[in-house]
Structure 1
Amino acid sequence: MIDFSTIIEEHSNKPGVSGEWFTIQWTPDMAAGERLNIGVIFKESSGSSFVQVLDYFERIKCFYSQSAVFHLTLACEVAKEAALSNSYNAHTSFSGLNFVANGFAQGDSADDIVSSLFLNVVPLAIKHTKAKEKAYYPVSRERLYNIMDGHLKKSLEYDEYFKMVEPTSIKRVTLGAQVHTLYLPYKAGSSIGTIASAAYSDENTAKCHLYDAQRDVSLAIGNFNEFKSGAIFILSPNNELKVEKRDQVDLEIDKFCWYLKTLSIFTEVDSNPISLADKAAHWYRKTAA
C-alpha cells in the first residue's frame, strides 16, 4: 500500500531554517523607562545567532538630540557583541539593553527572517527622504554575514562549511590592560578571514569599516600562533547608489586593497553578497587544500 502521507511530507515546501527570535530594546533614559526597538536577533535551532541593529541614526535626533546618537551607537555595538557571542537570553539586561524573546520563527534563510523582522519591528530604521529622492539603504556587516552564511550553507559540503565557518565570529585579544574584540568568521588552514561592508553612501563610513577589518585580521595574525595569513572579503556599493558617491567609495576600496597588499593580506571585492560568498568559498578551498 502506498503511504501518501509520507510522499506529501517529503515533497512539501519545508522552511529552510527555524528557531527563536528576540527584539533588542534600548532604554535612552532610565528615569523615563521608555524602550525603543533597535534591532532583532534570530537564534537558529542549531544555536547560531544572526543579528541586525540600527546603523541609521537620523530619526533618533528627532526624539532626543545629537548626544543620544553616541549612546545609541555604543548600545548597538554592545548588542551585536552579545548576540554574536551568544551571551544573551530573555532575562539579559545591561547598559540599558533588554533582549525580549518573541517565540518561534521560520523561513527560507536566516537573512530572510532577520530582514523581515527588522523591517517590521524597528521603525527607527526607516529613512527620511525628500520628495522624488530614492533612499539608499546600506548593507551592514552583520547583514552581509547573514546573506553570505545562507549561501555558504547551500554551496559548501557539510564538512567544508563547519571547517570554514567559525562557531562564533568573536575572538578576544588582551593587549596590556585592554581586551579587544575581533570579528573573524572564517578560517582556512592557517589563514583567518573576515568580511567588511563598504556598501555605504559615505566614503568615510566605508573607510572606517574597512580599517576595522584590517585591524581584526592583523591582530589575529600577530596574537594567535595558529594563524599565519589573513583575508578580507569586501562588499562594495551596487548601482543603487548614485554614481558619484559610488565612485568615491570605490576609490577608498582601491586604496585600501593596495595598502593590504603591502601587508600580504588577501582581498576580494564584489558588489553582490552571493558572488562575494562564492569568492570566500573559493579562497577556503584553495587555501585549505
Structure 2
Amino acid sequence: MGWRFWKLGEDKPLRDRIIESIKSIEFHKRELDNIKRRLEARKEKLFNLTVKALEAKDKVRAKVYATEHAELKRVIKVVTISELALTQIAIRLESICDTGDVIVQVSAAFKVVKKIGEELSSIMPQLETTMKEVNDVLVETMSSLQQITPETPITLDLSSGEEILESAKKYVEEKISSLEEPLPESLQGEYSLEKIQNIALLASGDDEEEPFKATLLNAPRPTPEQAILDNRVLEYIRANGSYNVVEIASCLGVPVDKVEQSIFRLAAAGKIHVGEVG
C-alpha cells in the first residue's frame, strides 16, 4: 500500500516528528541503562552487606538488606524489560520511515507505548512525556490514513504489541532467573519494617553504623539439594579465592539467585567470610 507523510497540526512533516520520537526514545534508553547500572552496583553491595550481617549473627539487619536486595532485583527486571521494549518500538518507528508499513508497525506500537508508560512512570517520570509524544505521533499517523484509500481494509491488530512485551519479558527472565524467589528461611520471621525502622538502609544509605544486638535463631538445616549446592559453592570459593556471584554461577552452571542463597546459608553457618565472596 502506497502512502505519503502528511503535515499534521504542526509545520513539521510527520516523518520528521517520527524521527524526533526515535531520537527521544534512544536518549531515554541510555538513561535507563545508566539507572540499571547504578541499581546493579547497589544490589551487589547489598548482597555483600547481607552476607556480612549473617556472619555477625545480626539477623534483623540481614533481613532488611536481603529484602532491599530482592526489591532492587524486581526494579531492575522492570527497567530491563522496558529498555528492550523501547528498542523494539524504535525499530518499528524506523520501519514506518523506511518502508511505509504503517498499519502493522503503528498498531503494534500502540499497546507497548501505553504499557511501558504505566510501568516506568514511578521509576522515571520524565519518560512519561516522551511516551505521550510518541503516542501522539502514532495517533496522528493513523489519522492521516483516513485521507488515504487503501487497497485493503485497515484493521488494527494489537496482538503484536503484546508479543513485543512478551518477547522482552521472556528474554529478561531467561537472563535473570528466579527473580521472585523468596528470602532464605534463615532470614524469614515475624519482623516487619515498622519494628526495624531504626535501621538506616536506603539505596545510598550509610552501612557503617554500630552493630545491632538481636537474639537470633539458628538457621534451619538446608535441604539435601541445597546442601549439595552449598558444598559445591564452598569448594569453589576455597579453590579459587575471591570471585563474584555471577562468575561462580557461570562456572557451576546454576542460576545466580541459587548461588546467592547458598552464600547466605554458608555465611549464616560461619563457613565463609565476606572477604571470600565478590
Identify the TM-score tier after normalising by the shorter chain. Answer: under 0.3
Greater relative contact order (CA < 8 Å, ≥ 6 in sequence): 2
TM-score (norm: length of structure 1): 0.24
Bigger helix share? 2
Q: Larger Rg: 1 or 2?
A: 2
Bigger strand share? 1
TM-score (norm: length of structure 2): 0.25
